[in-house]
Amino acid sequence: MAQHTNPTDVSTGETPIALSRLVLMAGMAVLLGVGVVGILEQGMEQPIPATFLTEGARIVAGRQGRVAEVLVQPGQSVAPGDVLIRLADERLMLRISAKEREVRELSAEKDRIQAAAEMELEWRRRDLNAEIFQTELKAASCLEQKLTREVEQIAWKERLSAGALLESNPGDLIRPLTLNDDSRFDALLKEDAAAAAVETLETQHRLCERRLEELRALEKSLVDRVRLSAGVSLAETRLADARRELGLLEEQAKGLDICSACYGRVGTTVPDVGDPVQPGQVLVELLDQDQPYLLARVPSRLLSRFAAGTEVTVVFSGEGVRRGEVRNIPLQAVPGSAVHLSDAYVDVQIVPKGRLWPRLPIGSRANIDAETAGHAG
């Protein structure tokens, strides 16, 4: 009797071995694929995208206001001092108008007071000059009378000392006459009277001279005295204060003109006419196309290739290949994307090296050859 082999027994013995072989081969294929991908990723890095930018300046508002006029358009070239945006401040304008009106009123009041003071000064000078003239006449008269009295006093003294009178007769014969008591007494009285008159006239002359000094001193200070009494100085002080306050307000008004501080090309203007503006708000972006750079987002795993000063190859779409140099690397990285959650990125600035870069619109894209990074001198 022939023996038959049980198919169930055969399959039961061989199936686990085949399944194990299949799993092992699949695992090896996966590992091989991962290895190949890793080798390819290490051997062929993808180009790093970069954004074309330029150096520039931000023009900010220095005060609060409202946009009254925008004087530039995007792309327009400007120079230092060019007015970009003109603001309006109704409250400031009202204050300036009120202060200008106050200045005009104070100026008119000062002119009126000054005119009245000049008229008063003219009358006072006339009276003062008349008094000075009369005092000078009186001083001269006193001096003249004093000299006359002094001569008379000397004459009487000489007669008394000579003891005789010289008398002329019709025949021009002169003969000495002896003074009697009455004549001597009369001569003494006249000599004393002359001496007293000299002293009196001397005193009057000194008083006249002193009064002249006072009048001349008053004449020198007359202008200041009249101005003070009329209120000219006070009016001038009030006017000067008002003008100084107006100047400060006008200086504030100059801040309403937002001017360029450098050469450049207008990028974007943030506000529109009628928009409110706050201090420190960015109003205009000025771009300097003579200072372009690329901002490349480099994976942190490749950061060692992008040390400062490293030369890289830059590929501009449709513009050919240029050279660049890493300028600086920020201290902080940015989180990675959803594709590479385990990686982070660093924004690296790259500036032209050698041949000039093409003039491209701001925001254009370029590629950095990661293969050449870290290997170019």
> Would you list the domain boundaries of the chain?
94-249
Q: How confident is the model at residue 329 (pLDDT cuts 50, 70, 90)?
A: confident
Confidence (pLDDT) at 373 = 63
Percent of the chain scored above 90 by pLDDT? 20
Domain 94-249 CATH class label: mainly alpha
Residue 342: predicted pLDDT: 53
Instruction: Tell whether the model's pLDDT for residue 5 goes beyond 60.
Output: no
Given a cut of 60, is residue 315 above it in pLDDT?
A: yes
In the prediction, which pLDDT does 336 show? 53
Dist CA 280 CA 48 (whole Å):
36
What digits encode the pLDDT tens for the residues 170-204? Answer: 444 444 445 566 777 787 888 888 889 889 989 99
Q: Which of the pair, 69 or 23, is modelled with greater confidence?
A: 69
Higher pLDDT, 62 or 337: 62
For position 305, what pLDDT does the model report? 81
Cα 255 versus chain centre, distance: 11
Least confident range from 61-70, 239-248, 358-367: namely 358-367
**36-66, pLDDT tens digit by residue?**
444 444 545 678 888 888 877 888 888 888 8
Q: pLDDT band for position 23 (50/70/90)?
A: low
Q: Which range has the top average pLDDT, 86-100, 163-177, 320-334?
A: 86-100
Percent of the chain with pLDDT over 70: 77
Residue with the larger pLDDT of the pair 277 and 187: 277
Decide which of 243 and 353 is more confident: 243
Most confident of 110-124, 174-188, 294-308, 346-360: 110-124
Q: What is the pLDDT of residue 137?
A: 93
Residue 180: Cβ within 10 Å count:
9
DSSP string, 212-228: HHHHHHHHHHHHHHHHH
> What was the pLDDT predicted at 41?
47
| Model pLDDT, residue 170 | 47
Q: Which residues contact 284 (CB under 8 A, 6 or more apart)?
A: 58, 59, 72, 84, 85, 258, 260, 266, 267, 268, 269, 270
Residue 29 binned pLDDT confidence (cut-offs 50, 70, 90): low
Q: Are 224 and 232 in contact (CB under 8 A)?
A: no
Name beta bridge partners: 84. none
Measured CA to CA, the distance from residue 186 to residue 39 in angstroms comes to: 155
Q: What is the mean pLDDT of residues 153-175?
A: 61
Query: Per-residue pLDDT tens for 220-231?
Result: 888 888 888 889
- Per-chain mean pLDDT for the chain: 79
259 pLDDT higher than 70: yes
User: What is the pTM assigned to this prediction?
Assistant: 0.47
User: Position 92: which residue type?
Assistant: L
CA dihedral over 290, 60, 88, 261, signed as positive or negative: negative
Q: Decide: 335 and 347 in contact? Cβ < 8 Å.
A: no
Mean pLDDT of 249-262: 86
